[in-house]
Amino acid sequence: MAVISYRARSLAPVSAELIPNGQLEIADGVVQRIVRAEPGTRGPVDLGDVLVVPGLVNAHTHLELSACRARVPFEGAFVDWIEALVRRGYLESDPADRAAESDRALCASLRAGVTAVADIATGPHMLERWRNAPGPVVGFLEVTGMGTRRAGTHPQSFAALAPLAAREPSTGCYRVGLSPHAPYSVAPEIYRAVADFARVTGRHVATHLAETREEIEFLATGTGPFRDMLERWGLWDGSFEAPGCSPVEYADRLGLLAARPLLAHVNYVSDGDLDLLAASGAPVVYCPRSHAFFEHAPHPCGAMLARGIPVCIGTDSLASNESLSVLDELRFLHRRNGSLAPATLLAMGTLAGARALGLGAQCGSLETGKRADFVAIPLSDPDTDDPLADVLASDRAPSAVFVSGRRVSIDA
């Protein structure tokens, strides 16, 4: 078994303290040992004045919307933005074209140091891409069905997508589950069916939850912009009865929180909601730059972390973001939220995401026996006593990305 060693000015395992002059020993794509290199040690490949971190984990994205970058501005109303996407045909474009665009987006993500992805797709056209991705993927087939579309076998129905998800192979680094889209687009009986599906099959579940104030209004009273949108789209038939509670409480009543779903956004919560989330153990995915794009109130991630709620990082899609780089997200948060320590931010962008996706035993930290997925990021000041803060304060792109111990091309 050939062992290859890499040395860097600093190495951040995430699961342990930072290691100056760190040395990473790899064989068969797996980390064998992590040590501090002795002065004058010969043999290791010197990566230079860099900080080495685990491969970054994007816990929530929509790769197939990558063609929408900078196409639809946000002008103050979330529902108007959704309808603009629909009017311009981005959600109805050829699935093959969306899949091809996803390939390019995935390559750009890899160059940015993202080695594991949780992606949501509207149909099976992404399955082959997910299977053949260079790193770990948890894919979610997006289920919809409200009002007149809550029954039957339309392309995004539970009946159509659940068998596809169940048939996909499930390995340590590739899984496929279901994502009921959101409370305003999925009837309660479908949410319950997805929760049962997760319990029986062990497959992962994700959903958008508590994303907007309009969602809160819809669940509280059954009125507001989402009700108006459903009526315009011919999807309102009066079958939905507003539960009169918050989105988080609604998910709990439906049995969804018991499945420990991946909860995207969760921008608006009460103290009672935080109690429910903490009790469930369901992880939350915060998408900082998309959050800013939609001009939301400050995200409650600090309060969540204080209560032990797992919080990880996602990029959302290029329809509401400039890139699919988790490093860019962490840098954005570092500039905007000084209350989050650099080590906390790095954990949110790596190990927290891996654990949320059920991949914590394979990736997310640099430990003996885990995949050798790691990223080298140049230091602005090689003599800094806080290399992680140095990297978060800079705009330097990764100089090297490794997946299963193999260096991948990061040429644009």
CATH code at position 227: 3.20.20.140
Structure confidence at residue 373 (pLDDT)? 98
Query: Do 247 and 372 share a domain, yes or no?
Result: no
Query: Do 223 and 256 share a domain, yes or no?
Result: yes
Query: Do 196 and 259 share a domain, yes or no?
Result: yes
Query: Do 167 and 285 share a domain, yes or no?
Result: yes
Structure confidence at residue 43 (pLDDT)? 67
SS3 for the chain, per residue? CCCEEEEEEEECCCCCCCEEEEEEEEECCEEEEEEECCCCCCCCEECCCEEEEECEEEEEECHHHHHHCCCCCCCCCHHHHHHHHHHCCCCCCCHHHHHHHHHHHHHHHHHCCEEEEEEEECCHHHHHHHHCCCCCEEEEEEECECHHHCCCCCCCCHHHHHHHHHHCCCECCEEEEEEECCCCCECHHHHHHHHHHHHHHCCCEEEEECCCHHHHHHHHHCCCHHHHHHHHCCCCCCCCCCCCCCHHHHHHHCCCHHHCCEEEECCCCCHHHHHHHHHHCCCEEECHHHHHHCCCCCCCHHHHHHCCCCEEECCECCCCCCCCCHHHHHHHHHHHCCCCCHHHHHHHCCHHHHHHCCCCCCCCCCCCCCECCEEEEECCCCCCCCHHHHHHHCCCCCCEEEECCEEECCCC
Structure confidence at residue 87 (pLDDT)? 81
Cα–Cα distance for residue pair 156/92, rounded to 1 Å? 12
Query: Within a 10 A sphere around the Cβ of 97, how many other Cβ atoms?
Result: 12
Structure confidence at residue 38 (pLDDT)? 77
CA dihedral 163, 166, 169, 173 (to 10 degrees): 130
Structure confidence at residue 91 (pLDDT)? 61
Range of the domain at 45: 4-54+366-408
Question: Which residue, 356, 374, 395, sits at the end of a domain?
Answer: 356
Nearest in space to 245 (alpha carbons), one of 228, 257, 262, 229: 257
Query: Do 44 and 102 share a domain, yes or no?
Result: no
Structure confidence at residue 40 (pLDDT)? 64
Query: Do 245 and 167 share a domain, yes or no?
Result: yes
In a domain, 142, yes or no: yes
Averages of pLDDT over runs of 10 residues in the chain (412 residues) are: 92 96 96 87 85 98 89 94 82 74 90 97 92 95 95 92 96 95 98 97 97 98 98 95 98 97 98 98 98 97 98 97 97 93 98 98 97 98 96 97 91 58
In a domain, 379, yes or no: yes
Structure confidence at residue 70 (pLDDT)? 81
Structure confidence at residue 88 (pLDDT)? 75
What pTM does this model have?
0.96
Query: Do 282 and 324 share a domain, yes or no?
Result: yes
Q: Which residues contact 75 (CB under 8 A, 6 or more apart)?
A: 81
In a domain, 361, yes or no: no
Query: Do 205 and 308 share a domain, yes or no?
Result: yes
Structure confidence at residue 108 (pLDDT)? 92
Phi, psi of 387 (to 5 degrees): -60, -30
Retrieve residue 89's tokens.
């045909």
In a domain, 277, yes or no: yes
Structure confidence at residue 100 (pLDDT)? 82
CATH code at position 382: 2.30.40.10
Q: How many domains is the chain partitioned into structurally?
A: 2
Structure confidence at residue 89 (pLDDT)? 62
